[in-house]
């Protein structure tokens, strides 16, 4: 095989890398997904139970954050731009950005280019426990201080804090905002009960 032939085979098997701008354009065409080092990972709607938990927990957070002017909350398809060249844009189910990291009057038409202080990932029916734990580790490696991974099936939340061991919170417990959202607490029965 000549060098030219090898080059053709190589370019045919390598993925066409996308940018964050490409991902925004695809979203406007109805393609939903995340970008991991330039490679599109399409996502599917995770269902009603998932959506109800996003709304319940998001409402609890909003009612704490908004009156205190602590920062900005966003939901799933907002996107956080984590890496460039090649680009990585991930979609947490809920993210909180402090007012110091993202001014309250910021009007950002694309993806956030600052790291949130809190990320919430809700396990979808198709997600393995390992996949969700890996996502938590990924967020922490990019500088997120607090990650909650929500497990609807066993009604628990794994709490990850930078530099500390993971802690499991169940419906018998109260979830707190730690150093990221001091004073926030939530009884998990309010998150999981219909």
Q: According to the CATH classification, is domain 46-192 in 3.90.1570.10?
A: yes
pLDDT at 13: 57
Distance between first and last Cα of the chain? 63
What value does the mean pLDDT of the chain take?
89
**pLDDT surpasses 90 at 115:** yes
pLDDT at 126: 85
Report d(CA 46, CA 131) in Å as an integer: 15
**pLDDT surpasses 80 at 100:** yes
pLDDT at 5: 41
Give residue 105's pLDDT band: very low, low, confident or very high (50, 70, 90): very high
Give residue 194's pLDDT band: very low, low, confident or very high (50, 70, 90): low
Report d(CA 169, CA 174) in Å as an integer: 7
Strand-pairing partners, residue 170, are: 156
Q: Residues 131-145: what's their mean pLDDT? A: 95
pLDDT at 165: 87
More reliable by pLDDT, 190 or 116: 116
58: nearest Cα among 122, 2, 153:
122
**pLDDT surpasses 60 at 120:** yes
More reliable by pLDDT, 47 or 56: 56
Q: Residues 12-25: what's their mean pLDDT? A: 82
pLDDT at 80: 95
DSSP-assigned letter for residue 112? B
**pLDDT surpasses 80 at 4:** no
Report d(CA 148, CA 133) in Å as an integer: 10
Structure tokens at 92: 């947490």
Beta strands in 71-112 (DSSP E): 71-75, 80-83, 88-90, 94-98
Q: Residues 158-171: what's their mean pLDDT? A: 90
Report d(CA 184, CA 175) in Å as an integer: 8
**pLDDT surpasses 90 at 11:** no
Domain edges within the chain? 46-192
């Amino acid at each position: 095989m000549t060098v030219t032939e090898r080059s053709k085979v190589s370019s045919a098997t390598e993925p066409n890398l996308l940018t964050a701008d490409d991902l925004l354009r695809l979203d406007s065409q109805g393609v939903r997904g995340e970008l991991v080092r330039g490679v599109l990972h399409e996502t599917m709607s995770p269902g009603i139970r998932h959506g109800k938990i996003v709304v319940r927990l998001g409402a609890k957070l909003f009612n704490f954050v908004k009156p205190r002017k602590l920062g900005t909350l966003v939901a799933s398809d907002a996107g956080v731009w984590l890496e460039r060249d090649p680009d990585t844009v991930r979609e947490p189910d809920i993210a909180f950005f402090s007012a110091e990291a993202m001014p309250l009057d910021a009007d950002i038409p694309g993806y956030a280019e600052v790291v949130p202080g809190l990320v919430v990932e809700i396990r979808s029916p198709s997600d393995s426990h390992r996949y969700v734990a890996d996502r938590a580790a990924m967020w922490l490696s990019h500088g997120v201080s607090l990650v909650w991974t929500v497990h609807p099936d066993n009604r628990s939340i794994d709490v990850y804090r930078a530099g500390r061991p993971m802690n499991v919170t169940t419906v018998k417990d109260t979830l707190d905002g730690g150093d990221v959202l001091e004073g926030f607490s939530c009884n998990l029965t309010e998150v999981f009960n219909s």
